[in-house]
Each structure stands twice: as C-alpha cells, then as structure tokens.
Chain A
C-alpha cells in the first residue's frame, strides 16, 4: 500500500466538526484531519531528535502538532516568531511517524505548516540561495563543477579544521571525495528484471558521481535494464520541506513528464530524500486535477536502489574485508519504511562485517539544508551520532542518502578518526569489481 492510500485509510472515520479555520486557503487548512489524528499520547517524544536534544515540548512532534492546531484555530498567529522558530527547528526526519500509533502524517503536516507560515516571515538567505540554485539545472551544474574543482585543491580539507559554518561546509565538501579506490569494470546483465530509469539527483550527480556510476553498474549486474530519462530535474524535496510547495510542484511536473517519456517500469533513486519525495508526488499534486493521476502513477513506480537490489538477491560479489556499520537515512526508514533492503545489500558482500549502530534509527542532523540553517541543533544531533559510530569501532558508515553522507562524512572528517561515510551501493560495486579482475 502506498503512503498516500495508507493515509486515506487512517484518517479518522468521523472527522471533527470543523471548528472554523483561521487560515482558510492555506496548505494548513487542508490537513485538519491529520492534526485531529493526534491524541497527544506522547509516544513520539523520545523518537524525536530535536526533543531529546533540546528538551523542549515546543520542539517535539506532539508540541509542534499542537502549535499547528493553534494556528489552524486562530489561537496563535501564523506570524508568531516562536511558532516559526519551533516549526523551523524540526529536522523533518519523520521518526515520529514510525512511533505514532495513530498514524499522524507528520511530514505532510510539517510541509503544509511551513508553506503556511512562510509568507509571514523573512526568508532565510542561505535557504533562498540554495533553493534557487537547485531549481536551475544549468546554474546548479556550474556550481557543482566549481565545487568539485575546489574539492580537488584539498583546501576544503584544510579549512575543515576550523570551526563555524565555513569549517563545517568545507568538511562536507571534503567528505564527498571518493573514499575507496576501485577498478572500473564492464557491468553485464540480462535486463530481465525490468527497465529502470534513474533519477540521478542534484548532489549525488554533482558531488557523489562515483556512487551514481556504481548504482548503474550494480543494477545492470542484477539484471535490470537501465534506460535514459532526459529532462529530469531536482526532485523538489528541499523545496517542499522548506515550505516552497509551489516550487516543488513545478519540479515534480517536469520529472513526471521526463519519466513518463522514458517508458521505464521503475524509477530508481539512490537518494533516500529524493525517493521519499517522489513517492509522494501524488500527495503533492493532489489538488491539481490535470496532474494528480499522472503523479500518482509515477510515484507508484519509484523504488530505492536497495529495494530493487534486495528483490534481485542481490548477486554476491567478491570478499571485502571491512568493519562496517549502517545508519538508516530517516527518509528511507521513517518516510519510506524501508529497513532491511540496505542491510541485504551489505550482507551480499562476503567478508564484510556488519556491526549494529546503536540508535541507527535516529537522525544524524543533516535533514536536507537544515545543517546550514540550524547549525547548532544540527551539530548537537550529529555529535550523538558520531559518538555512537565511535562506539561501534567500524571504519565505514554506510548510508544511502547524500545529506546523511555529507553530514556524517563531515563529522568524521572533523573528528579525524580515520572513518568514512559511504553509500552501501558503492561497497557492493567494489565487491563486484573485485570479482571481475579481467574486465
């Protein structure tokens, strides 16, 4: 069952007799039923990284839902600073959703609320810049090329030793450099498992291109037929999470168009955040009569790369001796409810020792562009993650999302403990490469 139909199924059978909506016509006005599903039990509190870090009920899912309700009912103004602060401070990790017995669609409520509050508050400069950039493919590719060139100078690695935003941003960039040398090989497969169009993604393609090539190869080896989908754009996740729902919808329409034209059976992504967004295109365009059905159809074809690989086995490769731990990207585990497939990918690699990461289901603090906008909270959340990683003794942290790769990667660069973050698919690819010395 897709998330969208699941949501329809869990809505209270008798929605509240509408108390008048104080913010008619806003996205928040449309999610009353979702707010009503919260019975205030508090089971989400300990699942929430911002609550356990900041210890403030206003920074908990239950508290934020209550703030949403208050804005809906007009008891608090959408222009209220503290409301905006606490809603902004949410990581959007949606760990509360997998803790919620009542099925509150928190991620959707958050997007609707941010979109409703946005016009009442000054825009964050960094956020605006980043979103603009991601909306323009040409600008984006120039920026990414420049970043790669800068990364090659090794200056970021030096700057990473400094504190503050510059230091952290440099560490993020430095962490995207390929961590393991590998041999290229010619991937071959039957293609009988179906045709796959690949959403290459902005950051993945721009800074983590090796992981993208690895993704194409391992899918091919596992008998998927890769097809092109020209015209694809940013998935729109960053826009939707920041309250720019219209920007997200524009991008979604372009992607729907591109992937329809590809004619592929599946749309695959190796970025958990992009996958979560695309699987919810139906919801995003629910009010757009011309696009809703098309959006839902594409959404139903979206798969995380680990899902496709797990369905295929995946085929085993050659041994890699490494101690690896796995951190679950929130948008894979909580938003898409994908828990085991990435582990199946890693288990397909002989010799690889997988050690469990304590609280692997807790956010690392990346959350899209959150680490740039709320650096303090983000760092506090990250520190707990890094401590847990240290405890495992693993040299590699596998995680399938660019935000997490860069956040954890940057943290590891700064700690200089000789550990690295890596996409699980890259390890499988390395294992396949080792299997084919002659290729």
Chain B
C-alpha cells in the first residue's frame, strides 16, 4: 500500500467511523498481531472498527472502491490464525454487539456479528431458550466468528454445529453488495449458499446480521464425571457409549496433564488429580428415562475400567465441572509460554488407537502432548506446550504435530473439526483434498470474492489456486488472468498485469507435485467423469428414475445413468457413519444398517427405490425431517463430478469437519447442476428399541392449531416425526377421513411409554403400524407437489390458506407444523389458469417440487436470477452440460 493511498483510505474510513476508530499507529496495532494463540506476529497495516451496521457497510464499500484486501475479526479467539491480517486492513466487528430481536415463539434471534456467544444465551434464558453451539471460548467469542468458522463445542455432539443453528445471514460481499442468504420464514429453492457461507472463514464476505435458531432448555440435565486409570480405558468407554445408542449432550475427555493444569487454576473443578483421564458426560432431555440412561452410562464406564463415576449433585457442581473443561485450553499457559493446538477428527472407533499413536509420537519427539477434546465426536485437541524462543524445541513440536496430523488423516479423519483451516492448517489441506477439489474451493471463493480481497491467503493453499488455472475447472468463471492469493494489495491491483513469478508467495509444500497428494477419486467417479467428458450433448442425470418429472423441464437429449454406481463403500457400525456410492438405493442403505440396529433418518417422499445421490441432489426429505433435519444436516461429505469432468470431494467421512469451503452443502439441493454425485458419507443413528406411531384426532380451526403448535414445541423430548394430514390425505393412506396428527416417537420401552402418555394429553390417539409412513410418502404419485412454508408460529394461517385452496382445486395436504411447512398435492388436471394463486406475492414461501411442464411458465421457484448462483453454476458447469434448465437457467 502506498503512503498516499493509505492516507486517503484512512481519511475516508475516519469520516465514517470516527478518527479514534481507525488505527494506524504501529503501537496500537500490535495487539492485533495474533488472535487466540500467542506466538504469531502478523501486524495489520490499518485497523478499522465500525460501530453500526451502516458504518460497516460503508467501510466495506470504501475498501471495495479502494480495492484493498481486508481481514474480518471478531473477538480474536480463533485457534487457526484465521483473523491475522498481515500487512492488510483489519476489519474489527467487535463493536457490533446488538441483539436485534428475539422471536421466542419460533426460537429465533437476529444478532449483529459482534454479539458474544454467551450473551446471546443469557438474553434467551428468560424465554427458556439457549443458543446450543458452545465453543469453549463462548464467554468471549462472537457469533460472527462462530459463523465464519462453523464453530463447534462440547454440546455439538447432540445438537449439531453452528451450521445447523443458523437460519439466515445478511451478508456484505467483498464488493460491497448486500445479499440475503437463507431464510428464517420458510424454505428456499436454489443453491444452499448459506451453507457455503457458514464456515467460509471470512473469505466470502462479512455477515451484517445473523439469524440464529435457539434451542429449548432441556427439562432435565445430568452431568457425570468418570475417572480412569488409563487413557485407553477412557477411550473404550467412549466407543461403548456411542455404540449404545444413547446420544449424550456432550462427551468430553481430558488427560492427566490437562487435569493438573485445570486443578491448579481458579477453575479447579475437583477432577481427581491422579486420574490418567476423565470423561465428562452430559445427558439431557426429558425426565423420563433419564435415570435409566445415567445408570447405563455408569455401567458402561465401569465395565471399561472406570475407577469411579460420580454424578454432579446440583447446578453449582455441574457448572464447576464444565468450567474446568471449558477453561482447560487457557490453563495450558501454566505449562509453558507457547502452545500449538490441533483439531483433527478421527472415526470414533479409532480413538483408542489414535490416542496411543499420539502418545508414541510425543515420546519419540520428546514433547508433552496434552489431550482435552470432544471424544464423542472423535474431535481431538492435542495441545503441545513449548517455548517459541527455543528453535530446536519448536522444530520438534512442529514435526510431532505433522506426524499426529498425518496419523489422523491416515485413520480416515480430517484436519480440522471446528477451529478452521486459517493459516495454521493450510499446509495440511492437500493431504485430504485433491488438486481438483482445492481448485473447486477456489472457484467457489471466486464467486463470492472475485478479487480475492477478503481474508487473503487463508483456507486454500495459494499454489492450488495457481495451478487450478490450468486444471479441469479452468474454463469456468474462476478463470482469471490476474491476482493470486497473496495477501498484499500490490498483488490485487485491478486489471493489473499478472505477477512476476518471484512475487508468488511460496511454501515448501508448494514444491511438492500435487498429483501425489490428496485422496484418489473413486472408480465410479472416474467412469462418470469419462462419460461427462465424452458426452456430445447436455446430459440428464438419472438415479432410479422415480422422480424424473420433478423440477423444471430439462433440455437434454442424453441420459447419464448414475444408478449403476451402487453399493456400500465403507461402513463401520461403531462410527455411526456410512459411505455409499451415489446410486445406492435408500432401501439398500436401510437393509444394511438395520442389520446393526442403525438407520439413516431420511425418508423422502416416494419410496425406497430412490437413490441416495438423487435424494441429496434434490435435498429431498420426508416426515423424519421434523425430528432429525433435512439432508444438509445428515450429509458429512460428497464426491461429485463437475460439468468439466473434474472429480471433487467436499467434507469427509467423520461427523465433524470444517476443512475447506463447504462444497457438501453447496451440492446438496443443487439438482445435479453443479455435479453428478458419485459417493456420499452420511451420519447414522441407533434405531430405538421401540418405534411407535400414533394418530391423534384434532380440530383444525385456528386456535386449535395454535394450541397444537404450542404443545408440540413444548414437548420435553424430540419426536421422530409429527405430520398433520388433511381429510383427503387421511383417506388416501387408509385412515378415517378427517384431519389428524401422526406422531412417531420412541426410545426404550419405559421412555416410549412416558412419551405416549405425554402425547395423549394433546388428544385422543390410536396406534398405527409403521407402514403408515410408507403410505404417506407414496401418496403423491402422479400429481403436482408444492411445499408452502412460513414461520412455524404462523402455521395455523398457512394451513387454513392451503386447505381453502385445495377445496377449490381438489387434492390433499400434509404438513410439518414444527417446521412450518405444508406440502400440497394438486391433481395435474387443474388448468394452468387455475394456478394463478401460485404466483401471488405474499408472506408464504413456496418450493415447487413437481408440476406439469406448462405450469412452470406461470409459477414456480424463481430462476436463479442473482449473479451469485449463476456464477456458481458457471464455475462448476461452465458449458451447461448437467441438467440444463432444471433450476430455470441453462
């Protein structure tokens, strides 16, 4: 940055935020030279700290006009060096601390990015709500930072990571343009760009506001502390607990070194100082069954060799146990002045093995590894304390870390579960992603930030972006003639000439031929890639072919049959994950997993002949979505082949993964327009002992429905499914022809009995066979189906709207009151002019699944009009080869 540019930029920024909020003195910028880890020394050239959203917008626009790279920073508690701004502008978001609104009925809150995680929970407490993702730094870290990193935390084992708790974001793109991603008031058609944005580590823009989903406080909580004589025993306990089917709210492990550091601190929790390891296990949910689960956990721990298992006596005791765990990282300062923290994830059955490997690596390099981690997720945090001023020790520590990381990757894991790649893990990215996958991530980033000004030099290694210009995706929008991920303005000069080679920042890794790195593509993917490359004309992707009439008409003459690529690629029941080829049928997955008492909680409308690839591609779901979420919540990783024949992988096979940009969410629901899915990794659940279905009779006038919604939301347990059917739908599936609520629930015998009693308080019920759900899923054959949605609190209005509409057109409806979604099934015979209602403006959102071709010109999901989705499409399928037209664009 030249001195003149710097001064004029500084003046422009100061007029927006005030002179005191633009920092340019070296002595005031020093404090930003590191984030949540000491030992970094990357100083920004300028710091700007807007105090309002309006100021923020103006600041980003000035930075865009001046074409200056910048790094967003929240509280600076990140553990991957993601918020370091080396010689560029630091954009501080810590002053944007307003909670803008809390909608208690729908359990939503809108917050500014600088709101501290725990402050949100504090504000929600009076409504009986909390914000579930709870990174250990929650007393300091911000929601904006959590979104950027897709942060996790102990309770993500049961409740999911940040991604699962963000409904929408208003994002300022690095260009200064404001876009809304996601929606809090219903479902959206089109690419899941919100899913791509969450976890993009500040590279895709800055969230101006975030709409988060809040969670109801559990009726009962029990916290257990188990102590062990060996790490191995503790690790085996973890495996046993996971395999038991009980899903603890949290399952954390700490080793002896960590225990001692914590016990010496102000957060001393009463952990036994002589234990080789302790497990902190938390159970939450309904009172019913709680004590039985506590007893089971105690038994499993004892069987694995626990010396003692105690249950927290009261809230104060519980808080103390948790404070110790959550502050453990900070307590490491007692051991040594500097610290490296890793964040690898391994399949859960590999925990005992990997912990022993890590121990051996530590011994070999004479370094002390402390382990404090999310055992239930297999998310390890090996910490090594050292002295950065000792070059020899530093070298040993970093070599040990590299070996640990490789061991985790070799075990089938990933390099980061929740901390992000940032700067810290860049060097490991090509151990888990192929050059084509990294190139695809670069391409996605360029859709959001073509100038690569936002958080330059992070997440994806520079050399892969450079190479990608010559790789498979090169004809996409990502193809650029200037600018590399360097991080200095001079390299980002607009329209400037390409850099001389000597200016390209290089790392040792960049000299390694990339063809030797990353996982190999599957055979299926290679075959599909060949087929795509050889195709003479655009292709219609086909799975089982059961849903080909869905979506807008496709203008492709050739068919690409993906159903041939079927079969289980990897299934280790103890990990509760499965990896299957894209053409595998849902029925096959159900059969294989049932043998081990597990299931994939995905039951899209249609039947079990449907393939998993098509299910993911269309983001289809069924009744189980009320209880377990939609495909985006269940998919761990995908392999797909782009329109240029590049084989790309997103995510991985483990349950927690924030390595790289989220191609998995991007492809989920993209209707094949970004790639043909050849392999999918999924999260499984243990099948409940008892799985029951009740039909509950009810009135459907407005106040009755309001009451119903309130009753369902207040349930202290998770229903598997809650589906309201209207009278015609009830008749179709063989029930008495009147509106009724179908609920699916279960657990152990005792728990199911308690739940049944609670449910029968809502209304009279009769038992139904499980086959009722198959009938419901199949009840839409040969008709048009459209999903209409609003905020759940507005469900009564929506239901009335839909039923009055259907009384004119004929048809049937079923709905998920908890999600605020009604699915209507309209006979195709309805004349197009009678579908005028589809196009009306209003509060209701609609997603058209399947309609006669002639209807789409009158109605239906808006084509992907915005530049952003269009550029994404162009980046992954520049020639429009895959399913052209299905989303309304070629």
Contact = CB atoms under 8 A, between A and B. Distances in A.
B51 to A, nearest CB: 8
A39 B31 contact: no
A76 interface: yes
Interface of B: 25-28, 30-38, 49, 51, 75-77, 92, 94-95, 97, 116, 118-119, 137, 139-141, 262, 264-267, 327-339, 387, 389-390
- Residue among A40, A44, A86 with max Cβ neighbours from chain B (10 Å): A40
A321 B76 CA distance: 48
- For the complex of A and B, the 5 pairs showing the least CB-CB separation, nearest first, are A102-B333, A101-B330, A101-B327, A36-B337, A39-B333
A45 interface: yes
Contact of B266 (A19, A82, A100): A100
A82 B27 contact: yes
A41 B36 contact: yes
A99 B137 CA distance: 12
Contacts of B338: 39
Nearest to B33: A66
B27 A37 contact: no
B267 A101 contact: yes
A102 B49 contact: no
Contact of A57 (B26, B32, B97, B141): B32
Given A14-B387, A45-B140, A101-B327, A38 B38 contact: yes
- Residue among A10, A13, A98 with max Cβ neighbours from chain B (10 Å): A10
Contacts of B262: 101
Nearest to A39: B333
14 contacts: A12-B333, A39-B329, A40-B34, A41-B77, A41-B137, A43-B330, A56-B49, A57-B76, A60-B31, A66-B33, A67-B27, A100-B266, A101-B267, A101-B331
A17 B30 contact: no
Nearest to B265: A101
Given A42-B76, A70-B27, 12 more contacts: A12-B334, A38-B38, A39-B329, A41-B333, A42-B75, A45-B75, A45-B140, A57-B94, A66-B33, A82-B25, A98-B266, A103-B331
A39 B37 contact: yes
Contacts of A39: 37-38, 329-330, 332-333, 338-339
Contact of B139 (A36, A43, A55, A62): A43
Given A76-B27, A101-B331, A9 B264 contact: yes
A75 B33 CA distance: 12
A19 B387 CA distance: 11
A55 B327 contact: no
Contacts of A44: 140
Contacts of A19: 389
B140 A42 contact: yes
B337 A12 contact: yes
Contacts of A103: 264-266, 331, 333-334
Nearest to B29: A58
Contacts of A46: 116, 118-119, 139-140
B334 A40 contact: no
Nearest to A33: B337
- Residue among A36, A37, A39, A75 with max Cβ neighbours from chain B (10 Å): A39
Interface of chain A, helix or strand or loop or mixed? loop
B389 A16 contact: yes
A9 B264 CA distance: 8
A353 B389 CA distance: 56
Given A37-B334, A42-B76, A101 B266 contact: yes
B259 to A, nearest CB: 13
Contacts of A97: 266
Given A100-B330, A103-B334, A17 B265 contact: no
A339 to B, nearest CB: 12
Nearest to A80: B27
Nearest to B393: A17
Nearest to A14: B336
A36 B51 CA distance: 33
Contacts of B335: 12-13
B30 A55 contact: no
A194 interface: no
A15 to B, nearest CB: 7
A98 B266 CA distance: 7
B340 to A, nearest CB: 11
Given A9-B264, A43-B140, A46-B140, A101 B328 contact: yes
Interface in A50-107: 55-58, 60, 62-63, 66-67, 70, 75-76, 80, 82-83, 86, 97-104
Nearest to B28: A82
A37 B333 contact: yes
Interface string A176-211: 000000000000000000000000000000000000
Contact of A76 (B30, B264, B267): B30
Nearest to B383: A39
Contacts of B328: 101
Contacts of A57: 31-32, 76, 92, 94
Nearest to B41: A75
Contacts of B264: 9-10, 103
A294 to B, nearest CB: 29
A15 B337 contact: yes
Contact of A10 (B25, B36, B334): B334
Nearest to A75: B30
Nearest to B114: A55
A102 B140 contact: no
Contacts of A58: 28, 31
B273 to A, nearest CB: 13
B327 A16 contact: no
